[in-house]
Copies of this chain bind each other. A is one copy, B any other.
Amino acid sequence: MKRWSMDKQLIQECIDACLACVAACEACATACLSEPDIDMMRGCIRLDRDYADVCALTARLLMRGSAVHARACALCAEACAACAAECGQHSHEHCQRCAEACRRCEEACRKMAA
């Protein structure tokens, strides 16, 4: 019935981490777009936009048990690392939350990609 066998709990943790990261990226981008210092938030908005999409796709492929899940997780881990590095530079609470969610997602995705 399944296309690949892995520890179910590990998969579920990765799905949850990806979805939490989508929510954090969307909230961060939305908040950045209302910040007075939007000029400094350009990179943050860009990465939030791209990586919310990457995390969302990765979660969907994991939910399906897609054959291509490992490579998607590798892409997602790379994306989350970049987003965490960018968002982590800003002191806004939404940026800090986003950076934290990205780090957790990166860690979960690296386990799945291995």
B50–A68 CB distance below 8 A: yes
| Chain A, 72-96, CB within 8 A of any chain B CB | 72, 74-75, 78-79, 82
A52 interface residue (CB < 8 Å to B) = yes
Query: Which residues of chain B have C-beta atoms less than 8 A from A39's C-beta?
Result: 38-39
Q: Among A19, A27, A31, find the residue whose CB has the most chain B CB atoms closer than 10 A.
A: A19
A65 to B28, CA, bound (A): 12
Chain A interface bracket (under 10, 10 to 19, 20 to 34, 35 or more): 35 or more
A50–B66 CB distance below 8 A: yes
Query: Which residues of chain B have C-beta atoms less than 8 A from A71's C-beta?
Result: 74-75, 78
A34-B42, A38-B38, A47-B67 given; name 12 further pairs at CB < 8 Å: A1-B34, A2-B34, A3-B30, A3-B46, A23-B63, A26-B60, A45-B45, A46-B66, A53-B60, A53-B61, A54-B68, A54-B72
